[in-house]
Structure 1
Amino acid sequence: MSHPDFAHLHVHSEYSLLDGANRIGSLVDACVKDGQRALALTDHGNMFGAIELYQSAKKAGITPVVGCEVYIARRSRFEPHSKAKGNGYHHLTLLARDDEGYRNLIKLASIAYLEGLHFRPRIDREVLAKHAKGINCLSGCLASELSQLALSGKEKEAEELALTWRDIFGPEHFWLELQRNGLDLQSRVNETLVRLNQRTGIPLVATNDIHYLRQEDCQAQDILLCINTGAKKSDVKRFRFETDTLFFKTRAEMADMFRDLPDAVKRTMDVVEQTNVNVEFGKYHLPVFKPDSSETADELFARLLEEGLARLYPNDPDGKARARVDYERKVIAELGFVSYFLIVWDLIRWSRANGVPVGPGRGSAAGSIVAYLLGITKVDPLRYDLLFERFLNSARVSMPDIDIDFCKDGREKVLDYTRRRYGAENVAQIVTFGTMASRTVVRDVARVLDMPLKDVDKIAKKIPAGPNAMSLAEALEKDPDLVAIQKERPDLAELFRLSVPLEGLARHISTHAAGVVIADRPIVEYVPLAKNGDDVTTQWPMTQLEELGLLKMDYLGLRTLTILEKTLRNIEKQGGTPPDLDHLPEKDPRTYQLLMAGDTLGVFQLESDGMKKLLARLKPDCFEDLIAVLALYRPGPLESGMVEMFTRRKHGQEPIAYPHKSMEPILRDTYGCIVYQEQVMLISNALGGFSLNEADNLRKAMGKKKPEIMAKFADQFVAGAVRNGCAEGTAREVWDNIVKFGGYGFNKSHSTAYALVTYQTAFLKANFRSAFLAANLSCEMGDHDKVKEFVDDARKASIPILAPDIARSRWEFEPEGAGLRFGFGAIKGTGERAIDAIVATRAKLLKKGAELTLHALSAEVDPSEVGRLNWEALIKAGAFAGSGHNRGAVLAALDAALTDGARAAADRKSGQSSLFGDAPAGPVASGKSAGDGIDDARAYSRADTLQAEFETLGFYLSGHPLEERAGLLSLLSTVRLNELGEVSGGTEVTIAGLILSKSENVVKSGKLAGKKMCRFRLEDMRGSVGVTCFPRTYEENKLKIEDGNVVVVRAKLEEDAEEPALLLDEIFTVEEAIQRFAGGVVIQITPQDAGLLGDLRTTVERFKGPRPLYLAVEGADGRTRRVRAGNHLGVAISSDFAREIEGLLGKGRVRLARV
């Protein structure tokens, strides 16, 4: 049976953002399957999916109908949305009819965000009438103004509105929209629409307001609505669709549903037949660079290249640089990219001239000598064998892509300059879509189902993420734990069932971290715009913008550049001369010693434990090695054995072989290993006879790993190599190596540019450590764990950390003498505005010669800028310790000081202070006795002081609660916490430490359901680790597991954990641990200790006790023998004993003889 032609004209996709469960590809597939010849997309208030629809539909051979269900403000789009004040909004269905209508729809969608955004992006009748040409309009769903008038019994007003829309869009371009969704309200609206049709002749058209693909997907849509509104599924009064009919219906289903009005179904094709929108791809819309001088862009380009050539290649005896410049310049000019290079040159020039640090380059652009001469990059491509064709292949025309690293703090300044230079309307940031990833969707759906989030979070973490990420559906089939969970827990099985259809759907819009688009005309003439916070963004993502021919640039905010800049400023503050980072000594011994030692905390790209181990093995001693390190530390090279081969060859442990002499100059710097993509290209060129453009095509094909394409390249390579005098067998061997290792090859241009930043940071750390660490600490102030890591790093280098001081500290960390002064910004509870006010007040008081007491400062500073919590944080952190008072005593005086300060502020406001001159109000003015009003009897204990410090800094700075027992606790531990990263998962360890952050929870299911378990942090003086304690162990040891207790744990290191974590087996008090583990004490004796044996005996006798004493005596032959120090000589194990022995003989010379 044949069915009438029909097309869906009211369709929502995932881009209706939590109000549409459709993927565009699935909708197109459904159209094709049902023989429908067209598909519209009318997402709520936006055109996010328009290009995806257009491309998918065209590829499938159906007509794309680009549309939008707009929100129309009841009055003005400029007025805030308020239903109570009669300025809510209604829906209206708009469809682009032709190219002009498409452009107008883009303008309307943009105006809705840029002018009418208030909860929803809205337009109004005024702007709609102005941009109605070329647009078809349907009267809309139940939420339309016409439907609402019909439901209110205002049929006359409804008719007037319908006639208004007809006048605006034209008699042939407006339809009354009928829907049949089973709702009584809709039936009432339909009756009115039919009567309006009979009276006015405005045609009827049938739609179905699609929100999900299949009828059974209505539950997924309902979950989306709950996520959208923050409701629980069980909430009785929540917003929901009271129908399950909003799915993709077939032509037969629509014909049956409107069998009494068949023309309404057929008329959808009238809309389709009118539709002829042509989106243009591939035509570039680059801005034309206009020089400030009278030169043309081409003349400026030529002059800059000549100047750069003279500056950077003053001697070019073989003419290589000149030839390369001429070649690149010719290609760039022929492809029409001169303006592009000048735009990038101008941005970088302006940034450097205006104090915004710029990186030395990134990506394949470092392979261009033109970029080098223009100052876009700082890497000499000739010296490092970098290839222009890797960047710009004239045989495969595509837009060049120069990404720029700016100092993170200056990125916004560069954006502002871009807007001024090219016009704000020609510049926008780029949208990106936050999606419902596997773990996120499980958590979101669990909230809707009101499931305990602690349980769900634990389950969600079982879904593989990161490099081994799986889709939720895949994980539910393949992960044994998740398979078992579904069988044991029906509620979790239901959670997963509801989550799978939603995974990957768009959840919200964000601003791309780097992407900026610049056009030759206002962007709204090509692309709809949106607003995300204060950012104006495109509505289409980066890849689509590139396909549409718009210039996309990445302005990346690189914090390392901020650190470099702060380090140079710190060196100046110390009275030193900052080094020129562009001209550092190439083989600085200190720098390479630091790299070989893996002392690379804060060094760009080299901070991970794995990278430190690689550095220690490889021992880089030249810049070429550093380039290779960045390229090698990736899964492919690490897993393929390439890293081991590279390391063995570098250290002469394996011979270096070149299958053909042409390969030696190409692979010499990497010891015969193929590490870079450029090496694959050069081998293909030198041996296989490929042009460099062909070699770049080979590189791309290797990434795609398509066997049929690779087979053609193999034949071409072998044939070319044979023509070049290579034996066929050798040629095939070389090809096999290219395929095996070349597939892991990295972009050498990028690696070289970033190695330069790596070297700069390593050089500064090696030669200006205090200034460098202060800069890093200032950039990490919001991350207290990271601050502690850098503090520990400074201490390892014997750099003292000077406590926060009200008289000396500023917001950031700064070098001071031989140490580092703690920055106020790293104290929890401070804010930059408050600190700026305090620092300014401090300067005023010092100028007057006044003391910097709490009373003096609080009397002068504006209380609206510095509140009680700010002062309390500073006091607890020790900022007033320099006054000679304990922090507890200063804190006890705070209320009185603030009262005096408020009074002083009130006096200043009323002008009363002028009666008493400029003297700050203090204790005397408030009737107290002279002095600072601080009662030292209110002092904190040492433990309270350390606790206050921990609260405000996130770690202990001036000491540690364990310091008095450090020696003993070290004896009881088999490993220190900062060494756990080097211990294999599953290993049993014994560690002494302090319990922090204990949290209890109840097991929800299984045999242990209802039982309590706990988690806590265990901290020693070197680090901390999370510990999980299961119910049985917890029940037996509850009293021991309390915050502040010093304990010894025996635990296993979790396997496959993202960071070290322990599973508790046993827990002991210190005294219990001594009884359990101490079979005696061993003191190590060396031949050099002969003169200390008398003192040693005296010390031992002062600590007599029950534990046997053993001496591990090192003989002249270097061998160590353990002997009992007398059958009757024993010791009592204590911290004092360990401390005195180590004070006499040295660290690490005393240990337990374990039972």
Structure 2
Amino acid sequence: MKFTHLHVHSHYSLLDGLAKIEDLVTRAKELGMDSLALTDHGNLYGVIEFYKKAKAAGIKPIIGCEMYIAYEDMHQRRPNIDDKRYHLTVLAYNNQGYHNLVKLVTKAHLEGYYYKPRIDKKTLKEYSEGLIALAGCFSGEVAHAVKNKKNDIAERLIAEYQDVFGRENFYLEIQPHFNFPDQMEINARMAELSKKTGAKLIATNDIHYVSPDDSEAQDILVSVQTGTKIDDENRLTMKNANLSMRSPEEMLALFPDTPEAISNTQEIADKVNINIPLGSWVFPDIKIPKGTTFDSELERLTYEGIAKRGLEKTPEIESRIQYELDIIKDKGFAPYFLTVADLLAFSHNQGILTNVRGSVAGSLVTYLIRITNINPILFKLPFERFLNPERPSAPDIDMDFADNRRDEVIQYAKDTYGEDKVAQIGTFGTMMARAAVRDVARALGYPYGVGDRIAKLIPFGSQGFPMTIAEALKITPELKELYDRDTDTHTIIDRAQKLEGCVRHISIHAAGVVIAPKPLSEYVPLQLDPKGDKKIITQYDMYSVEDIGLLKFDFLGIRNLAILEDAVRLVKYFRKIEVDIEKIPMDDKKTFELLTRGETIGLFQLNGSGMTHYLKELKPTTIHDINAMVALYRPGPIESIPTYIERKHNPRLVQFFDPRMKDILSESYGVVTYQDDVMLIAIRLAGYSWLEADKLRKAMGKKIPAEMAAQKQKLIDGFMKNGMGPQKAEGLWRLIEPFAAYGFNKAHAASYGMVAYQTAYMKANYPGEYMTAVLTADSGDTEKIAEIIAECMRMGIPVLPPDINESFAKFTLIREDDPGNDKIRFGLETVKNVGVPIVEAIIVSRKKNGKKFSSLTDFVERVQHKDLNKKSLESLIKCGALDEFGERGLLLGNIDTILEYARENQKNVSQGQTSLFSLSPEINVSSIKMKPKPAATKKERLAWEKELLGLYVSEHPLEEYKEKLQNKVIPMVDLKNQPKNRLLSVGGLVSSMKKIMTKTGSPMLFVTIEDLTGKIEALVFPRMLEKNPTIWQEDKVLIVRGKLSDSERDNSLKLLCEEVSEVL
């Protein structure tokens, strides 16, 4: 007898289901099944992955969801009433049913969410066409009535569900989980109710994992979800039930008295006929002039762009345009290009700075319609890297916006294309190796240190290549030895491997947005961002979204574009100069001199000690030098930088491995620099097509040994067929192999290089404006602020504490005459305990009255705000914002008098009287009977600044130690570029300490040490502490020697102390 599993949870039933979809499909195939359902809890996250993998395996996919049925109305949220809900297994049996299921799940999330995404029967009935429902597990509504001996209610409920779905489409579910309370009784009563009501029986196993051996791992997974340990008696657990994928024979044996419950599963499977169209594109409904087509409109805009870009209609340009347009039209992508152009046109009109990354910069069409800002002909960028006749995938245009204005562009998309047609894309976070080890150890009841010790032995993966436990065991002898020797480690790692890769949560993709021609719920299930900010996201990830034909638009917020935009605004305000950042000269002498001096702090892509070192050696003179550095300063290609620099300064050293490579590598002095170089070498020297070259690129990027070996042989064979000897062919492979995983797209490097140049240009030509913008962008990061302030001081731009008369909300540029005398003040919003409403009131008062505050009295009279209380006024005094009205110690000591005056004044004004100040002209600060108070000490002033602004501003306690530390220590800002395995010294002020007791009962310290550029936490272990127990004190200046280590908790650097000395 054939049987189909219709109640199946994958790991997309978050932290509840353990089974990966591929494993479910594989197991079903092994058991001889020809169909399988997926019914995750309240979501459709895995549907497209399941659909594709089941189809590929020859298994009919049945798409479903175990939904949560609201107690009454899904829109009600009454505490202790509407938090009750029931389970219902809903399956789609045709395309209309699939679309209705998508809409139901969307409504459950967007309208019915209350602890869980809920739906009610009224809404179910509205969207019931094409759907089958199973009454659910023991948490189903019918089962609940049965458990409570309410047979009449059970019969009524069955009738209600039969009315919702149709009499033939509602089944009573029985399950073989006989260890669950009441399960046998529920099954017996369901059989009776089936006979009485005509609702057919269906047998399901509530699958949460593939094999019975996975039971413990799934139990641990539930403990991770609930934050409990597996030995907690009162926790949620399913360990007593077999929730694996049982064979048809097992299921039949478990229900000998109701064989129809087995055969009915196949009845449902046979009824299912769903076809989800994949691979055909759906474009936004972009408006174009009447009488035109998308193709003709794109062509018109392209030719208009020639003159707008200041170009001439040469044969070369016209030929390139027609070549590109023919490919774009042939592939039907004109609407996509027009939509991107529309979004960027809005941004340009609103003054929002943009940049477009990736291979799209190789398109002349996109340059002419103002999608990109780089002329691909000047930069020799190939269009085929972006789009070619052989490439099956859609074009990918990554749009960057100033990060503080990105949401404006998304809102424009919603306003233009429809609020219900635009959403951000969801993305799934999975349990990575280290986290899985720690989670498992905690759930099994081990102390934190046990799991932490094992996790620390697992190396970090590289970008795009996460480390797995299996790989770590292969490459880390210490971990393998511990695994083989220690029983606890063996247990933890074995369990963790089963949890590794399970989906842990859904969140918003950093950039991805979808825009559809019809409401999105026609295509994809939606939900709210779990963070609670009311943003709507797709339940399908970027891959599934593209599978169903929705093109992904990348809207990425970039901090450096916000910096440029702010700097341009400041230049216009202070210098009355309009800087068009897209039209700045590309041969600016000041810019290249700044880079040659290595003044790279605050620049995009070019900062950091390693990059700065190479720039000083390179002495760049063209934008191509910058692009090359952006591309080469990566693992692998970085080894070519010295050769690049040497050949730039000595052209006689330029050589080409093969004369045919000269046209490809002439700009980079014969050095293989970009991914495109590798692809063009394969095309021109090995006879590859663009499609084959793209496969080579992808294989090299994945670093899969078998793929790499196959590509190596194919490439070498191609070289030899095209006239190269075997030894030379092998040598050329070795030349390009370092680009295996880290080679940079040339168009991408050109896009990033352009922004890098723009930031360098603004810093070189408008230093005050630029550094003010950098400080504002980094205002939430005190370590970065410290680094930028140090750079400002080096540039001769003082950074001063806030001032009640000069500061605005953000960092404020102060220019009294010459730009050479610029200074920057902290913004008022940077002061702790001073909220936005007070800051706005201060600024509004200054603007409204057209004058500064003349005295403290004037200030408290004009700024009458409920939030100007003792705490906020005290903070303004302590940080120095009121220094011009009196010494800080004096003002602080009389704060109650000042506040009393403010209250009396406010009372008089509210009663219609004039202010106390105007009534008594002789009253000023001193006449408010200010009592003499001791002046604040320098130490107090600096401590207050640190407390309220996050760092020392007017002066740093380390200033007097500068010479003593010079050349003896590495600045904190440069530590991230230092190796982890060698001793180094840092020097600075002890700003905080924390003592803990180790497991052996010995004390150790966590000591924060800071210098003028940043800070680091030093770990002082018991042995080290015993040697120097009294040297570790706050405010002492120390030189600490030790080795760097990565923190496991926050991925920050730590210093493992081995020596310490005091600087006197």
Displacement after TM superposition at 1:879 (Å): 1.3
Q: Counterpart of 1:428 in 2: which secondary structure?
A: strand
Aligned mates of 2:349, 2:460 — CA distance in 1: 43
Please tell me whether residue 879 in structure 1 is matched to residue 875 in structure 2. no
Counterpart amino acid of residue 763 in structure 2? K
List aligned pairs for 1:911-950, cutoff 5 A: 913-917=910-914, 931=927, 934-950=930-946
Q: Is the 8 A contact 2:591 2:764 kept in 1?
A: yes
Aligned mates of 1:279, 1:338 — CA distance in 2: 25
Displacement after TM superposition at 1:508 (Å): 1.3
Displacement after TM superposition at 1:1016 (Å): 0.5
List aligned pairs for 1:755-774, cutoff 5 A: 755-774=753-772
Deviates more, 1:1033-1042 or 1:521-530: 1033-1042
- CA distance 1:932–1:938, shift in 2 (3 Å): farther
Q: Counterpart of 1:14 in 2: which secondary structure?
A: coil
Query: Which one of the candidate residues 1053, 1056, 1059 is aligned to 1:1063?
Result: 1056
Report what 2:751 is aligned to. 753
Displacement after TM superposition at 1:631 (Å): 1.0
Q: Counterpart of 1:1014 in 2: which secondary structure?
A: strand
- CA distance 1:699–1:495, shift in 2 (3 Å): closer
Please tell me whether residue 99 in structure 1 is matched to residue 95 in structure 2. yes
Aligned mates of 2:59, 2:957 — CA distance in 1: 73
**For structure 2, which runs of at least 5 residues remain unmatched after alignment?**
816-821
Q: Is the 8 A contact 1:1016 1:1027 kept in 2?
A: yes
Counterpart amino acid of residue 878 in structure 2? K
Query: Which one of the candidate residues 378, 388, 397 is aligned to 2:383?
Result: 388
- CA distance 1:861–1:699, shift in 2 (3 Å): same
Counterpart amino acid of residue 371 in structure 2? I
Please tell me whether residue 1052 in structure 1 is matched to residue 1048 in structure 2. no
Deviates more, 1:263-272 or 1:892-901: 892-901
Counterpart amino acid of residue 49 in structure 1? G
Aligned mates of 1:539, 1:380 — CA distance in 2: 38
Report what 1:606 is aligned to. 606
Displacement after TM superposition at 1:160 (Å): 1.5
Q: Is the 8 A contact 2:905 2:915 kept in 1?
A: no
Please tell me whether residue 851 in structure 1 is matched to residue 844 in structure 2. no
Report what 2:592 is aligned to. 592
Report what 2:893 is aligned to. 892
List aligned pairs for 1:5-154, cutoff 5 A: 5-80=2-77, 82=79, 84-85=80-81, 88-154=84-150
- CA distance 1:903–1:186, shift in 2 (3 Å): farther
Report what 1:564 is aligned to. 564
Q: Is the 8 A contact 1:923 1:930 kept in 2?
A: no
Superimposed CA distance per residue, residues 449-498 of structure 1 (whole angstroms, 9 cap, x where no aligned partner): 56555775565444322428521344356434445666887666554444
Displacement after TM superposition at 1:605 (Å): 0.9
Aligned mates of 2:1014, 2:14 — CA distance in 1: 43
Q: Counterpart of 1:121 in 2: which secondary structure?
A: strand
Larger radius of gyration: 1
Query: Which one of the candidate residues 268, 271, 282 is aligned to 1:274?
Result: 271
Counterpart amino acid of residue 787 in structure 2? E
Aligned mates of 1:415, 1:919 — CA distance in 2: 51
Please tell me whether residue 398 in structure 1 is matched to residue 398 in structure 2. no
Displacement after TM superposition at 1:55 (Å): 1.2
Displacement after TM superposition at 1:899 (Å): 4.9
Counterpart amino acid of residue 369 in structure 2? L
Q: Counterpart of 1:66 in 2: which secondary structure?
A: strand
CA RMSD of aligned residues (A): 3.1
Aligned mates of 1:1015, 1:929 — CA distance in 2: 46
Please tell me whether residue 434 in structure 1 is matched to residue 429 in structure 2. yes
Report what 2:539 is aligned to. 539
Q: Is the 8 A contact 2:390 2:690 kept in 1?
A: no
Report what 1:551 is aligned to. 551
Q: Is the 8 A contact 2:102 2:524 kept in 1?
A: yes
- CA distance 1:315–1:965, shift in 2 (3 Å): closer
Q: Counterpart of 2:424 in 1: which secondary structure?
A: strand
Query: Which one of the candidate residues 191, 216, 223 is aligned to 1:194?
Result: 191
Aligned mates of 2:904, 2:219 — CA distance in 1: 58
Superimposed CA distance per residue, residues 125-151 of structure 1 (whole angstroms, 9 cap, x where no aligned partner): 011001111111100011111111111
Counterpart amino acid of residue 2 in structure 2? D
Query: Which one of the candidate residues 1026, 1041, 1049 is aligned to 2:1032?
Result: 1041
* TM-score normalised by structure 1 residue count: 0.85
Report what 2:516 is aligned to. 519
- CA distance 1:171–1:613, shift in 2 (3 Å): same
Aligned mates of 1:14, 1:923 — CA distance in 2: 76
Please tell me whether residue 1029 in structure 1 is matched to residue 1020 in structure 2. yes
Aligned mates of 1:729, 1:490 — CA distance in 2: 52
Aligned mates of 1:490, 1:283 — CA distance in 2: 53
Displacement after TM superposition at 1:956 (Å): 1.5
Please tell me whether residue 1017 in structure 1 is matched to residue 1013 in structure 2. no
- CA distance 1:1025–1:423, shift in 2 (3 Å): closer
Deviates more, 1:477-486 or 1:334-343: 477-486
Report what 2:261 is aligned to. 264
- CA distance 1:730–1:1038, shift in 2 (3 Å): closer
Aligned mates of 1:1012, 1:998 — CA distance in 2: 12
Instruction: State, as a whole percentage, how many aligned pairs show the same letter.
Output: 37
Q: Is the 8 A contact 2:972 2:1013 kept in 1?
A: yes
Report what 2:819 is aligned to. none
Q: Counterpart of 1:917 in 2: which secondary structure?
A: coil
List aligned pairs for 1:619-698, cutoff 5 A: 619-638=619-638, 641-652=639-650, 655-684=653-682, 696=694
Aligned mates of 1:272, 1:453 — CA distance in 2: 48
Q: Counterpart of 2:168 in 1: which secondary structure?
A: coil
Q: Counterpart of 1:15 in 2: which secondary structure?
A: coil
Aligned mates of 1:58, 1:156 — CA distance in 2: 43
- CA distance 1:629–1:43, shift in 2 (3 Å): same
Displacement after TM superposition at 1:703 (Å): 4.6
- CA distance 1:308–1:1063, shift in 2 (3 Å): same
Report what 1:174 is aligned to. 170
Report what 1:338 is aligned to. 334
Aligned mates of 1:971, 1:168 — CA distance in 2: 80
Deviates more, 1:995-1004 or 1:760-769: 995-1004
Superimposed CA distance per residue, residues 905-943 of structure 1 (whole angstroms, 9 cap, x where no aligned partner): 5x48xxx62421366799999x99853554451432221
Displacement after TM superposition at 1:303 (Å): 2.0
Counterpart amino acid of residue 643 in structure 1? I
Counterpart amino acid of residue 1037 in structure 1? N
Counterpart amino acid of residue 773 in structure 1? M
Superimposed CA distance per residue, residues 20-58 of structure 1 (whole angstroms, 9 cap, x where no aligned partner): 122111111221222222221111111111111111111
Counterpart amino acid of residue 401 in structure 1? D
Displacement after TM superposition at 1:394 (Å): 1.3
Q: Is the 8 A contact 1:101 1:133 kept in 2?
A: yes
Displacement after TM superposition at 1:806 (Å): 1.4
Matched length = 1044
Superimposed CA distance per residue, residues 589-642 of structure 1 (whole angstroms, 9 cap, x where no aligned partner): 22112222321111111123322222233332211111111111111212xx32
Counterpart amino acid of residue 615 in structure 2? L
Please tell me whether residue 616 in structure 1 is matched to residue 622 in structure 2. no
Deviates more, 1:669-678 or 1:116-125: 669-678
Aligned mates of 1:188, 1:903 — CA distance in 2: 77
Report what 2:818 is aligned to. none
Aligned mates of 1:595, 1:971 — CA distance in 2: 24
Displacement after TM superposition at 1:347 (Å): 0.9
Aligned mates of 1:458, 1:900 — CA distance in 2: 60
Q: Is the 8 A contact 2:285 2:417 kept in 1?
A: no
Q: Is the 8 A contact 1:99 1:277 kept in 2?
A: yes
Report what 1:362 is aligned to. 357
Deviates more, 1:216-225 or 1:172-181: 216-225
- CA distance 1:279–1:81, shift in 2 (3 Å): farther
Q: Is the 8 A contact 1:845 1:851 kept in 2?
A: no
Aligned mates of 2:324, 2:386 — CA distance in 1: 11
Superimposed CA distance per residue, residues 692-736 of structure 1 (whole angstroms, 9 cap, x where no aligned partner): 5665565556556454455455545554x45xxxx6679847864
Deviates more, 1:165-174 or 1:279-288: 165-174
- CA distance 1:928–1:320, shift in 2 (3 Å): closer
